[in-house]
C-alpha cells in the first residue's frame, strides 16, 4: 500500500493553503482539521467523472461497477452527478474521476499526486489528489478489473458505514496489486433437491456474484458431475453426466428419459444467464465437467439415467457436446476436466481424452482447459498441451482437507508408489505409479513447465462451521504462489452438502433453528469469503477491511469478535496437519468427528492409515515435520528425539487457540451490539463448537500418547492418566454437541454413510464405548510393584509439558541455484549445537527427502547439495535439524510463533 498524500512539486504549506482556501470558499471551518487528507470534508453529493474516450472506463463491466457505487450512495441519500470532465462537476460535490491509470485524464492527475499504479493486471488505486484548489478522489486501475476493484472498494466502505461520504474520504492513497493471478471459488451442484433451487434463482446470482467480485475473486467455477466418485449405487444423478441435461446434440439421440425437454432447455438458459452475469462483473466463468461416465452400476434407484449412448459413440458424442456447449455459452471462459478413473473413464484412455480436448480446441475460440491433477501422467499432459489451448493443472492442497497455511513438506506413506502394487483397472495410474499425485502437487512444479498450477482446496476438514482468520488467510495466499503457482480454486464451504444422494429439502446450512437461516446459504460465510478473497489478492490487506464489516454487525465487539473467530479457525487445520486419519474427505470429517478407537481396531472405512487402524497409529498429514502419536510415545520411552513436532505440542497449540477464542468471544459478548440477531448468534455458536473441538482433540491426543506409553511399558499409572484424559475429552465433546443441539439439524448430510451425516450428539456413543473399553483394560491391570524409570519420565513429559527451544542461529537462504552446480549451505550459531543435519529434496512429491550430516567449522555448520542433485528441472527445498542433546532437537526454520510461515526454505532455479 502506498502512503503519499501530497501532490508532487508542491510543499506541505502550498498544499495546505490550497486546501484551506477551498474549504473557506465552501464555508467549512478549518479549525482542528488535520493537515492532510479530507476526512472532515462535508460534501453535498458525488460527481462521477468519466471520459467517454477512455475505453476502459466506459467498458460494460466498469459501468456495472459505477452503477453499484451509485446505488450504494443513493441508498443513503447521496445525490449523484455524471459528467465528462472535472471542471463540469458540481461545486460542493465530492469529485471522483474514474479512469484507467494510463488514460489521458488519470495520467497527469496521478503524476501530480505522486502516485504510481503498478503496470500489472488487476492493479487498483484510490488516490486523493488536488485539481487546482479542488480535492478529488481518483478511482483508477491498470485495467478493467483494477478500476472495478477501486469502485467496489468504495462501495464496500459505504455499505459498511452509516456515514457514506466520510467513509470514502481518504487521507492517503490505497494502491494494491494481486499476489495470485487466479482467485477462484468453486460452487458444486451435487444434489437434485438441495441444489436446484439456487441454480435456478435469478435473484440470487447477481447478488452472489457481486459479493465475489467485491472480495476480488476473479473466477467463478461451477462444477457439475462431482456428486459421486464412482458410478456404483447412484441414486441422485441430476447433472452427473452433464451434457444431456443441457443439450440435445445433433447427430446423436442421447437423452435423459426422465427429464422433460423444456427442463433441459431451461438448464442451458440458466447456465447462459449465470455465465453472462459472471462476466458482466469482470470475472471469468469456468465450467467443471467432472464426470464422463454414463452407465450407472447396480443403481436400481437412480432418479435419472442416460439413453442413446454406446461405447463406440461415447468419445465422439462428448467431443461434440462440449464443443456445442462452448458455442451455446460464449461466456464460458474455461473448462475443468477430471481425467482419472473417477471420471468414469479408465485411466490411460489417451485417445478418449484427446478426442475431448479436440472438442474444446475446435469450438471456435480459445478456451483454456484446467486438468484435475490426480492420476495425470506425462502422456496425458502432453496430449492436452498439444491441443493448442492454454492448460492449467489443479492439485489438491492438503489432500481433500485444509491444513496449516503452507505446502506440506511430504506426503503420507500410503500415497508413495509401491512396486508391483495391485490396482484396479479403472484406477491403474492414480492407485499405482502416479499415486503421489492423488493428494499433493505431485511432480508438476518444474521450473520450465508449459502449464499453470492452480491449487484446489477440497471441502473435507470443515464443511459447515464459520471460519475466518486474516493471518491464516495471508499465509495461505503466499502459499498459493509457491514456486510460481498461479493461485487457488476454493471449493465453497457447503460444496458437499447433500452429496451422493443424501440431500434433504430445506436449509443448506443445516440449521434446525429457523431463525438462524440466512436467505441464501452463502450469506452465512460473507466474512469468511471476504477474508479469503481479499487476502488472496493482497496478503497485506489493511485490517479495516475486516473491521468495517464487523463494526457494522457487532459494533464495539468487533475487535474481540475478529480475534475469537481467528483463533477458532486455526483449530481444525492444525488437527488435520498433525493427524490425517484419511486423505479422503469421504472417510475423515474432523468437524463432525466419528470417534476412532484408541484401544481397538473398529472402523472399516479408514482404509489409508497405517496398521493397526487405531488412533495412535494415524499418520500426520505431513509426516516429514510431525510425529504420529505412537512414534512420539516411542521417542519418550527411548529418550531419542527427532525434532519433529509432537502431538503434545499440537495439543498445546489447540488448547491455546481454544482458550483465546473462548475469552475473546466472552469479551465480544460484553461489547457487541445486535446479539439477538442471527449474525452474532451464528458466530457465537460456531466459535463455541470449535473451541470444544480443539479441546477434545487436544485432550484425546494426550490420552493416546499416555495409552501407548502404557502399551510399551505396562505402566498402570500411564493407563490411569490416559483414561482420565479420555474422560475429559469426552466431556469436551458433550459440551460442544449440546451446543449444537437445537441449532443444527439432527441429520446434517455430506454423504450417505453414517460418518458423513448425522449430528454431533450421534458421535457420543462411540466415544463412550471406547472409554469403557479402556476402563475395562485398567480394571484388569494390577498396580506396578516398581515403576520403570522410563515410564515415569515419559508420563511426566506428557503431564508437565515444556515448550520447544528456539533456534539461536542465523542462515541466509539462497534465492536461486544453477542446475549442475553444487549448493553450499551454511548456518551460524552463538552457541554451537552438538550436531546439525541438512534435509533436502527437489520440489517433487515423487521423491523423499535426502539428509546429510553437516560439518562443524568455527561457529557454523556447513553442508553441500551435490552438483549431480541440482541437475534437475525442479526447485529445491531444505531445512535443518539441530541437536543440542538427545532430548533437545529442533527444526530450523520451523514454525514461527504464529505458525503462519513456511517451515522450510525454497531455492528456485536460475
Name the burial class of residue 33, with classes exposed (0-12), middle (13-18) and buried (19+) by CB atoms within 10 angstroms of its CB: middle
Burial of 111 (C-beta count, 10 Å sphere; 0-12/13-18/19+)? middle
Written in H, E and C, the secondary structure of 802-815 is CCCCCCCEECCCCC
List pLDDT tens digits, range 815-825.
Answer: 999 999 999 99
Q: Of the given ranges (7-11, 465-469, 600-604, 659-663), which has the lowest mean pLDDT?
A: 7-11
Stated pTM of the model: 0.94
Distances (CA, A) of 883 to 107, 746, 854, 855, 861: 58, 51, 11, 13, 12
- Angle of CA points 759, 762, 766, to nearest 5°: 140
Identify any residues that bridge with 186 across adjacent strands, giving them in sequence order. 221, 491
**pLDDT above 50: residue 25:** no
Q: Is the pLDDT of residue 9 over 50?
A: no
118/32 Cα distance (integer angstroms): 35
Instruction: Output 878 or 418, whichever has higher pLDDT.
Output: 878
CB atoms under 10 Å from CB of 382, counted, come to 12
Three state DSSP letters for 796-847 = HHHHCCCCCCCCCEECCCCCEECCCCCEEEEEEECCCCCEEEEEEEECCCCC
Write down the pLDDT at residue 11: 31
User: What confidence tens digit (pLDDT) does each residue in 365-387 have?
Assistant: 999 999 999 999 999 999 999 99
* Model pLDDT for residues 122-133, shown as the tens digit of each residue: 999 999 999 999
Cα separation values, 381 from 161, 349, 423, Å: 50, 12, 22
CA dihedral 164, 167, 172, 173 (to 10 degrees): -60
* Length of the chain measured in residues: 910
Report how far residue 466's alpha carbon sits from residue 491's, in angstroms, rounded to the nearest whole number: 15
Instruction: Show contacts of 10-16: CB within 8 Å, 24+ apart.
Output: 15/130
pLDDT tens digits for range 95-104 = 999 999 999 9
- Which residues touch 824 (CB under 8 Å, ≥6 apart)? 862, 863, 864
Residue-wise pLDDT for 144-166, tens only, equals 999 999 999 999 999 999 999 99
The mean of the pLDDT values for the chain is 93
Residue 1 has pLDDT above 80, yes or no: no
Q: Is the pLDDT of residue 478 over 60?
A: yes
Contact of 625 with 644, CB cutoff 8 Å: yes
Q: Cell for 845?
A: 512429491
Q: What is the pLDDT of residues 275-304, one digit of tens each?
A: 999 999 999 999 999 999 999 999 999 999
672 secondary structure, DSSP code? B
Q: What CA–CA distance (Å, rounded) separates 650 from 804?
A: 11
What pLDDT score was predicted for residue 17?
37
DSSP 682-693: HHHHHHHHHHHH
SS (H, E, C) 595-633: CCCCCCCCCCCCCCCCCCCCHHHCCCCCCCCECCHHHHH
583 and 415 Cβ atoms separated by less than 8 Å: yes
27 φ/ψ sector (left φ>0, alpha ψ -120 to 50, else beta)? left
Q: What is the DSSP letter of 593?
A: P
pLDDT of residue 607: 65
In this model, does residue 58 exceed pLDDT 70? yes
**Residue given cell 528456539 in the structure block:** 806
Query: How far apart (Å, rounded) are the C-alpha atoms in residues 523 and 528?
Result: 10
pLDDT in tens, 890-908: 999 999 999 999 999 999 9
Is 18 strand, coil or helix? helix
Mean pLDDT for 511-516 is 98
First to last CA, the chain: 30
Q: Is the pLDDT of residue 447 over 80?
A: yes
pLDDT at 35 over 70: no
Question: What's the pLDDT tens digit per position in 547-562?
Answer: 999 999 999 999 999 9
DSSP states along 731-749: HHHHHHHHHHBTTB-S-EE
Helices 526-537 and 470-479, packing angle to 10 deg: 40
Instruction: Mention every residue, 6+ apart, whose C-beta is less than 8 A from residue 400.
Output: 439, 458, 459, 460, 583, 584, 585, 586
Q: What angle do CA 462, 643, 807 make, to 5 degrees?
A: 100
Q: Which residue has the cell 560439518?
A: 855
Average pLDDT over residues 753-762: 96
Amino acid at each position: 500500500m502506498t502512503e503519499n498524500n501530497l501532490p508532487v512539486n508542491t510543499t506541505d504549506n502550498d498544499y495546505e493553503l490550497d486546501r484551506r482556501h477551498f474549504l473557506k470558499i465552501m464555508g467549512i471551518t478549518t479549525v482542528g482539521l488535520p493537515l492532510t487528507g479530507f476526512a472532515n470534508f462535508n460534501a453535498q453529493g458525488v460527481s462521477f467523472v468519466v471520459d467517454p474516450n477512455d475505453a476502459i472506463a466506459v467498458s460494460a463491466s466498469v459501468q456495472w461497477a459505477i452503477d453499484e457505487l451509485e446505488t450504494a450512495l443513493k441508498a443513503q441519500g447521496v445525490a449523484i452527478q455524471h459528467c465528462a470532465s472535472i471542471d463540469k462537476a458540481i461545486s460542493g460535490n465530492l469529485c471522483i474521476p474514474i479512469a484507467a491509470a494510463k488514460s489521458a485524464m488519470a495520467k497527469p492527475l496521478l503524476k501530480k499526486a505522486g502516485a504510481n499504479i503498478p503496470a500489472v493486471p488487476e492493479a487498483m488505486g484510490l488516490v486523493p489528489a488536488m485539481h487546482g484548489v479542488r480535492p478529488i478522489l481518483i478511482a483508477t486501475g491498470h485495467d478493467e478489473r483494477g478500476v472495478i476493484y477501486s469502485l467496489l472498494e468504495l462501495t464496500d466502505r459505504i455499505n459498511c458505514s452509516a456515514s457514506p461520504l466520510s467513509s470514502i474520504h481518504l487521507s492517503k492513497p490505497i494502491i494494491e496489486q494481486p499476489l495470485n493471478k487466479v482467485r477462484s471459488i468453486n460452487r458444486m451442484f451435487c444434489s437434485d433437491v438441495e441444489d436446484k433451487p439456487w441454480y435456478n434463482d435469478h435473484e440470487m446470482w447477481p447478488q452472489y456474484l457481486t459479493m465475489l467480485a467485491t472480495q476480488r475473486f476473479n473466477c467463478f467455477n461451477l462444477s457439475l458431475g462431482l456428486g459421486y466418485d464412482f458410478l456404483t449405487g447412484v441414486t441422485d444423478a441430476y447433472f452427473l453426466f452433464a451434457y444431456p441435461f443441457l443439450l440435445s446434440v445433433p447427430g446423436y439421440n442421447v437423452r435423459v428419459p426422465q427429464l422433460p425437454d423444456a427442463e433441459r432447455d431451461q438448464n442451458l438458459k440458466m447456465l447462459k444467464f449465470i455465465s453472462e452475469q459472471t462476466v458482466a462483473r469482470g470475472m471469468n466463468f469456468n465450467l467443471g465437467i467432472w464426470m464422463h461416465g454414463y452407465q450407472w452400476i447396480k443403481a436400481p434407484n437412480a432418479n435419472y439415467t442416460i439413453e442413446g449412448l454406446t461405447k463406440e459413440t461415447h468419445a465422439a458424442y462428448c467431443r461434440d457436446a462440449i464443443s456445442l456447449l462452448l458455442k451455446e455459452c460464449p461466456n464460458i471462459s474455461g473448462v475443468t476436466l477430471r481425467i482419472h478413473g473417477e471420471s468414469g473413464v479408465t485411466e490411460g484412455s489417451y485417445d478418449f481424452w484427446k478426442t475431448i480436448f479436440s472438442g474444446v480446441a475446435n469450438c471456435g475460440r480459445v478456451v483454456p482447459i484446467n486438468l484435475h491433477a490426480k492420476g495425470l501422467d506425462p502422456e496425458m499432459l502432453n496430449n492436452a498441451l498439444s491441443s493448442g489451448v492454454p492448460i492449467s493443472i489443479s492439485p489438491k492442497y492438503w489432500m481433500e482437507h485444509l491444513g496449516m497455511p503452507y505446502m506440506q513438506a511430504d506426503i503420507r506413506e500410503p500415497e508413495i508408489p509401491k512396486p508391483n502394487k495391485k490396482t484396479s483397472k479403472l484406477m491403474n495410474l492414480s492407485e499405482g505409479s502416479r499415486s503421489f499425485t492423488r493428494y499433493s502437487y505431485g511432480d508438476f512444479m518444474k521450473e520450465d513447465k508449459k502449464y499453470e498450477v492452480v491449487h484446489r482446496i477440497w471441502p473435507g476438514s470443515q464443511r459447515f462451521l464459520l471460519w475466518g482468520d486474516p493471518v491464516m488467510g495471508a499465509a495461505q495466499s503466499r502459499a498459493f504462489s509457491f514456486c510460481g503457482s498461479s493461485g487457488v480454486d476454493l471449493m465453497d464451504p457447503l460444496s458437499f452438502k447433500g452429496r451422493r444422494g443424501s440431500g434433504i429439502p430445506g436449509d443448506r446450512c443445516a440449521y434446525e433453528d429457523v431463525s438462524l437461516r440466512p436467505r441464501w446459504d452463502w450469506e452465512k460465510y460473507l466474512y469468511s469469503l471476504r477474508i479469503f478473497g481479499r487476502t488472496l489478492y493482497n496478503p497485506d490487506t489493511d485490517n479495516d477491511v475486516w473491521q468495517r464489516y464487523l463494526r457494522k454487525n457487532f459494533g464495539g465487539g468487533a475487535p474481540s469478535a475478529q480475534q475469537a473467530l481467528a483463533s477458532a479457525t486455526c483449530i481444525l487445520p492444525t488437527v488435520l496437519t498433525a493427524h490425517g486419519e484419511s486423505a479422503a474427505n469421504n472417510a475423515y470429517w474432523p468437524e463432525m468427528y466419528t470417534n476412532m478407537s484408541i484401544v481397538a481396531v473398529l472402523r472399516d472405512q479408514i482404509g489409508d492409515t497405517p496398521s493397526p487402524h487405531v488412533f495412535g497409529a494415524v499418520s500426520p498429514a505431513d509426516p516429514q515435520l510431525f510425529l504420529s502419536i505412537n512414534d512420539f510415545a516411542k521417542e519418550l520411552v527411548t529418550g531419542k528425539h527427532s525434532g519433529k513436532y509432537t502431538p503434545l505440542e499440537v495439543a498445546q497449540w489447540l488448547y491455546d487457540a481454544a482458550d483465546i477464542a473462548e475469552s475473546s468471544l466472552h469479551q465480544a459478548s460484553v461489547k457487541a451490539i445486535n446479539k439477538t440477531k442471527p449474525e452474532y448468534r451464528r458466530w457465537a455458536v460456531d466459535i463455541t463448537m470449535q473451541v470444544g473441538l480443539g479441546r477434545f482433540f487436544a485432550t484425546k491426543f494426550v490420552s493416546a500418547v499416555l495409552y501407548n506409553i502404557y502399551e510399551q511399558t505396562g505402566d498402570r499409572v500411564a493407563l490411569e492418566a490416559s483414561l482420565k484424559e479420555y474422560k475429559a475429552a469426552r466431556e469436551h465433546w458433550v459440551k460442544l454437541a449440546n451446543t449444537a443441539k437445537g441449532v443444527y439439524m439432527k441429520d446434517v448430510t455430506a454423504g450417505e454413510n453414517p460418518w458423513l451425516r448425522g449430528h454431533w450428539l450421534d458421535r457420543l456413543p462411540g466415544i463412550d464405548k471406547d472409554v469403557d473399553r479402556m476402563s475395562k483394560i485398567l480394571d484388569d491391570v494390577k498396580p506396578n510393584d516398581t515403576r520403570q524409570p522410563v515410564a515415569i519420565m515419559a508420563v511426566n513429559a506428557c503431564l508437565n509439558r515444556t515448550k520447544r527451544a528456539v533456534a539461536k542461529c542465523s542462515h541466509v537462504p539462497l534465492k536461486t541455484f544453477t542446475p549442475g552446480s553444487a549448493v553450499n549451505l551454511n548456518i551460524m550459531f552463538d552457541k554451537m549445537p552438538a550436531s546439525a543435519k541438512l534435509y533436502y529434496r527437489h520440489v517433487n512429491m515423487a521423491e523423499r527427502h535426502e539428509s546429510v550430516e553437516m560439518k562443524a567449522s568455527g561457529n557454523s555448520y556447513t553442508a553441500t547439495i551435490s552438483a549431480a542433485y541440482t541437475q534437475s528441472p525442479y526447485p529445491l527445498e531444505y531445512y535443518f535439524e539441530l541437536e543440542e542433546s538427545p532430548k533437545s532437537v529442533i527444526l530450523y526454520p520451523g514454525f514461527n510463533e504464529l505458525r503462519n510461515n513456511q517451515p522450510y526454505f525454497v531455492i528456485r532455479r536460475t
